[in-house]
Amino acid sequence: MKRGLFITAEGTDGSGKTTQIKLLESYLKDRGFEVVVTREPGGTKIGEKIRSIILDPDNTKMTYITEMMLYVSARAQLVGELIRPSLEQGKVVICDRFVDSSYVYQGFGRNINIELIEKVNSIALDGIMPDVTLFFDVDPNIALSRRIRSTGADRIEQETMDFHRKVYEGYKKLVSKYPNRIKIIDSNRSIEEIFLDVKENIDKILERCL
């Protein structure tokens, strides 16, 4: 591949993104691709420091604008340090969450103006957008309980169910706005069934790129 392939995974907290990314990573490596897996917020040394500030349950005074700017700062670092160079080297980059998370969590969840979010993010993205986004579609109630059972709740996961519902509805709206880029993956199924769907979607895209 000349320019690499940029895949992002989106969904409410606990929707199974990390589980599916691991399966996709080993599938693509077996097919001979060089694969870079990363996550947001984080993925770089600087970004992981920003992540710990954002998710710290003690940071109860953080304003929504501070929160948005921290996500964008971590994103700018990740794009510049890892995503852009990896794509230029022809690698497949899989990112657990990306700019769509800012649209739905900060836009729909926190009610920050979407145009403002777009503007600030355009600085961080610097022209980089995912080739394909997999939206892991599962009821937020089910997703969150799966997740909290396994790891405990961070600052965002401690938000009300009303917040997580708004985020989920935000994803639905985003999918209808970008139907070509965002693929819906019904994630109310078993890990194996979901992965078959993921594989089918990615295989189709690879056929077009190769």
Distances (CA, A) of 186 to 17, 53, 84, 208: 12, 32, 30, 23
Say whether residue 190 binds ligand ADP (CB under 6 A).
yes
How far apart are CB 131 and ligand TYD at their closest, in Å?
A: 18
Q: Which is nearer to ligand ADP, 56 or 88 (CB)?
A: 56
Distance CA 94, CA 7 (A): 5
Per CB under 6 A, which of residues 127..166 are in contact with ligand ADP?
146-147, 150
Residue 151 CB contacts under 8 Å (≥ 6 apart), including other chains: none
What DSSP state is assigned to residue 156?
Answer: T
**CB-side exposure of 44: number of CA atoms within 13 Å?**
15
- Pick from 4, 7, 8, 17: which binds ligand TYD (CB under 6 A)? 17
Hey, how many other C-beta atoms are within 10 angstroms of the C-beta on 36? 20
Tokens found for residue 19 = 């589980």
**Which one of 26-34, 80-88, 97-105, 183-191 is the stretch in contact with ligand TYD (CB under 6 A)?**
97-105
15 is in an annotated binding site: yes
Per CB under 6 A, which of residues 2..41 are in contact with ligand ADP?
11, 13-19
Applying CB under 6 A, the residues found at the interface with ligand TYD are 13-14, 17-18, 39-41, 71, 97, 101-102, 105-106, 147, 154, 156
Chain contacts with ligand ADP (rule: CB under 6 A): 11, 13-19, 146-147, 150, 190-191, 194
